[in-house]
Amino acid sequence: MSTSFKIFNVIGARPNIMKIAPIVAEMRRYPELHPVVVHTGQHYGFAMSQVFLEQLKLGEPDYNLQVGSGSHHAQTAQILTAFGNLVQQERPDLILVVGDVNSTLACSLAGAKECIPIAHVEAGLRSFDRSMPEEINRVVTDALSELLFTTEEAAAENLMREGVSEQKIFFAGNVMIDSLFAALEAARRSPILGQLGVKRRQYAVLTLHRPSNVDDSERLLATLNAVAQIANDLPVIFPVHPRTADRLAESKIANLQKWNGIGPIDNHGTWIMPPASYLDFLCLMDSSAMVITDSGGIQEETTCLGVPCLTYRENTERPITVTQGTNTVIGTAPENLVAEARRVLSQSPYSHPAQPPLWDGHAATRIVTVIRKYLDDRVRKNNENVTSLIIS
């Protein structure tokens, strides 16, 4: 095997860190692999980036492109330019991207144009809704990738239907669950429940960040009015994404209470708080009665934890969380949100379905095993080609 393979591991948004951390940790076990962490800076600041790097033990990135926020096209263009320049300078042997954010697409495109092979972790997931920017990112990234690592069996069917060779597809399991299993014991020691003054199974968690749910002020108000009805039954804890915080400030929505971090919350109401750290949020999910979300990764994490999840969207790219997990896709009608939440809260006892296949905490091992073989085979084939040319 070659002395060293340089592998760029791209992080951009907060969920990427959870997926990359176990892969980089596994790569570091092999002396021939040289994992390089490249942070595009799509998410930045302590709450959205630094605390995740620390708690997941990834360490400081080798490169931080510091592109910051912006519209989809502007952010993608800035990442494409900055990452493309870095690839030209460093010429990695492989670029590994995860998920479906703008960084995933931009870095894949830059690598492909420089003829660097792309490995996509979480490939093949489809909502079949091209109005979602993430769906565009998924489809294009998969089309550019040489190695496609899937989290569920339906993903391979999606890829082959799009013309991807079966030889490029590897069912690896869910690497985000690797991070969850590794951190769960520490998360359960988090003081966050005591700080909030809530008890296990006696509160709900809410996350909202998708433009379709938060950018229209009337729609956002209707959603939060529905959440306020749910909050009459038990407190709803709402760690607010920066994008959503901006929309709330613009809309001057009043039916929210702010937890100031000093005393416990009251028994009822929708309580907003800053973005939680990985361990604190994992603790909040694990102990909640229910999670309401428009996030993709939270659908997976709640499935793993056995916590009821209501996905406030019209579709999901993670169908296994519905067929084999705890997730229910409820659409985006506020009145339906209230009805479904009350249905969940009326159910007992608390159930924990079986884990989906290969959601076992060892996805990173399977991914790195494939990558090592792929890189070794490339070297061998290149050597054979050189030998053939010399002989001829």
- Which tens digit of pLDDT belongs to each residue from 236-275? 999 998 888 888 888 777 678 888 776 677 778 999 999 9
The reported pLDDT for the residue numbered 47 is 56
Of 55-64, 111-120, 136-145, least confident by mean pLDDT is 55-64
- pLDDT level of residue 391 (50, 70, 90 thresholds): low
Catalytic residues: 209
Cis peptide before 349 (omega within 30 of 0): yes
Task: Please state the rounded mean pLDDT for residues 377-383.
Answer: 88
175-187 and 278-287 are packed helices; what angle lies between their axes, rounded to 10 degrees? 80
As a whole number of angstroms, the distance between CA 254 and CA 221 comes to 9
Domains of the chain: 5-173+358-391 (3.40.50.2000), 191-346 (3.40.50.2000)
* pLDDT at 154 > cutoff 80: yes
Residue pair 19/176 in contact by the 8 Å Cβ criterion: yes
* pTM > 0.85: yes or no: yes
* pLDDT at 127 > cutoff 50: yes
As a whole number of angstroms, the distance between CA 391 and CA 170 comes to 36
* pLDDT at 155 > cutoff 70: yes
